[in-house]
């Protein structure tokens, strides 16, 4: 019997810095940045989209070794099955099962292939920690019930006005030249998704802090990148000294083999970690007010101001165990945030 694979699952809403965190963590010894593994079957296997290393996934030597152990001929069916099982309308039932202490996502014949995927990734990379930035809470709940998977949840949260602004940008799925765009939900929908996914993440896992759940805000991460990544590495069970930092806010990145995720996963070389704050000037008053109204309960829970130009994110005032136990990282104010709209990390 193989030891369980430790999966660091990045949960929450999109556009919260998960691609950045995944790529940086992938530089640590013993860590494999897998990217958004829930998309492996469709975007990787069926569509043969680029791996983080730049090759089409089916041409990447690492994924060739992993794929040999998987039922790749059934990839399209597995992808369709996952979409069906993880639908938004299944959320109430998922949460009811979780409260009753039973599997939140019922077992399914494809689960064996999913468990094989994580075992094969760990075996062929030699990693002690596999970083999965799939974000969708129901998929994380499914993973947590798989045999051979030890789940640790990193909950990334970002100001919903920033994520709503980010969602509206036109971006190619795999870079500017890609005619297929990343999804662009209207701000109201982006706001509601932010509230739902962050609330569900808290409901599913916050009571597992400090060993199984860590909450980090994008604003704190970009205010003090090195210290925040050290906390995340320690949480994942990785040597915090082994990171790629060449300065408090600069990393040197080598290519990863991540599946799906923001196009910025292909960046390599020296990369400054800065906050993208373009939304503060460019999000319209109407959109700001709409997103603020729709996400009000979450703003309070995660410590974001209601008024634009108000004080930066203060200490989160929610009563989640993560906060009580001091596991919410940092308390950086907006004054510390280095402004760099062009090079800022705003992605998902
Ligand atoms: Zn690759």
**Centre of ligand 1 from the C-alpha of residue 259, in Å:** 8
CA distance 337 to 253: 22
For residue 176, what pLDDT is reported? Answer: 65
Q: Which residue has tokens 């994580």?
A: 118
CA distance 227 to 94: 35
**Centre of ligand 1 from the C-alpha of residue 82, in Å:** 23
The pair of structure tokens assigned to 30 is 């013993």
**Centre of ligand 1 from the C-alpha of residue 63, in Å:** 7
**Centre of ligand 1 from the C-alpha of residue 341, in Å:** 29
CA distance 275 to 310: 17
For residue 15, what pLDDT is reported? Answer: 87
CA distance 144 to 224: 30
**Centre of ligand 1 from the C-alpha of residue 75, in Å:** 18
**Centre of ligand 1 from the C-alpha of residue 158, in Å:** 29
**Centre of ligand 1 from the C-alpha of residue 267, in Å:** 14
The pair of structure tokens assigned to 14 is 């999109």
For residue 14, what pLDDT is reported? Answer: 86
**Centre of ligand 1 from the C-alpha of residue 52, in Å:** 6
**Centre of ligand 1 from the C-alpha of residue 121, in Å:** 12
For residue 313, what pLDDT is reported? Answer: 60
**Centre of ligand 1 from the C-alpha of residue 265, in Å:** 12
For residue 316, what pLDDT is reported? Answer: 54
| Angle between helices 111-125 and 137-144 in degrees, nearest 10 | 80
Q: Which residues of the chain have pLDDT under 70?
A: 1, 170-179, 181-182, 309-348
* Residues 6+ away with beta carbon under 8 Å from 293: none
- Dump strand ranges (E) for 213-302: 213-217, 245-247, 250-253, 269-272
**Cα end-to-end distance, the chain, whole Å:** 36
**Centre of ligand 1 from the C-alpha of residue 58, in Å:** 9
- The CA distances from residue 1 to 5, 13, 296, in Å, are 12, 35, 48
- Lateral strand order in the sheet of 31-35: 31-35, 129-135, 5-12, 149-157, 213-217
**Centre of ligand 1 from the C-alpha of residue 152, in Å:** 24
**Centre of ligand 1 from the C-alpha of residue 32, in Å:** 12
For residue 311, what pLDDT is reported? Answer: 56
Report if pTM > 0.85.
Answer: yes
* Closest-CA residue to 190 (of 331, 13, 326): 13
For residue 304, what pLDDT is reported? Answer: 96
- The CA distances from residue 176 to 21, 169, 179, 184, 340, in Å, are 21, 12, 8, 15, 20
CA distance 289 to 313: 17
**Centre of ligand 1 from the C-alpha of residue 18, in Å:** 19
**Centre of ligand 1 from the C-alpha of residue 310, in Å:** 43
The pair of structure tokens assigned to 137 is 């809470």
- Count how many residues are written for the chain: 348
**Centre of ligand 1 from the C-alpha of residue 271, in Å:** 20
CA distance 173 to 284: 25
For residue 159, what pLDDT is reported? Answer: 97
**Centre of ligand 1 from the C-alpha of residue 224, in Å:** 30
For residue 173, what pLDDT is reported? Answer: 63
**Centre of ligand 1 from the C-alpha of residue 266, in Å:** 11
**Centre of ligand 1 from the C-alpha of residue 269, in Å:** 17
**Centre of ligand 1 from the C-alpha of residue 13, in Å:** 26
State the alpha helices, DSSP H only, in 126-224: 137-144, 160-167, 187-205, 218-223
**Centre of ligand 1 from the C-alpha of residue 150, in Å:** 24
For residue 344, what pLDDT is reported? Answer: 54
């Amino acid at each position: 019997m193989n030891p369980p694979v430790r999966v660091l699952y990045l949960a929450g809403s999109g556009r919260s810095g998960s691609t950045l965190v995944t790529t940086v963590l992938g530089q640590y010894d013993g860590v494999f940045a897998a990217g958004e593994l829930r998309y492996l079957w469709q975007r990787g296997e069926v569509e043969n989209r680029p791996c983080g290393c730049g090759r089409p996934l089916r041409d990447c030597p690492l994924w060739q070794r992993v794929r040999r152990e998987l039922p790749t001929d059934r990839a399209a069916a597995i992808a369709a099955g996952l979409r069906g099982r993880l639908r938004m309308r299944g959320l109430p039932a998922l949460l009811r099962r979780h409260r009753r202490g039973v599997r939140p996502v019922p077992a399914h014949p494809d689960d064996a292939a999913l468990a094989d995927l994580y075992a094969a990734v760990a075996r062929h990379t030699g990693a002690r920690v596999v970083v999965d930035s799939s974000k969708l809470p129901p998929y994380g709940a499914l993973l947590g019930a798989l045999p051979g998977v030890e789940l640790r949840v990193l909950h990334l949260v970002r100001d919903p006005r920033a994520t709503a602004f980010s969602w509206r940008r036109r971006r190619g799925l795999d870079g500017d030249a890609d005619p297929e765009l990343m999804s662009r939900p209207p701000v109201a929908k982006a706001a509601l998704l932010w509230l739902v996914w962050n609330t569900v993440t808290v409901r599913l896992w916050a009571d597992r802090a400090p060993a199984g759940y860590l909450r980090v805000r994008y604003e704190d991460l970009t205010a003090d990148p090195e210290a925040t990544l050290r906390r995340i590495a320690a949480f994942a069970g990785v040597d915090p000294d082994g990171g790629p930092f060449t300065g408090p806010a600069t990393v040197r990145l080598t290519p990863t083999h991540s599946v799906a995720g923001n196009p910025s996963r292909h960046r390599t070389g020296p990369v400054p970690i800065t906050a993208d704050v373009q939304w503060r000037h460019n999000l319209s008053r109407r959109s700001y007010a709409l997103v603020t109204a729709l996400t009000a309960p979450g703003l309070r829970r995660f410590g974001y101001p209601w008024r634009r130009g108000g004080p930066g994110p203060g200490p989160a005032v929610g009563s989640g165990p993560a906060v009580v136990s001091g596991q919410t990282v940092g308390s950086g104010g907006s004054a510390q945030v280095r402004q760099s709209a062009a090079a800022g990390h705003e992605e998902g």
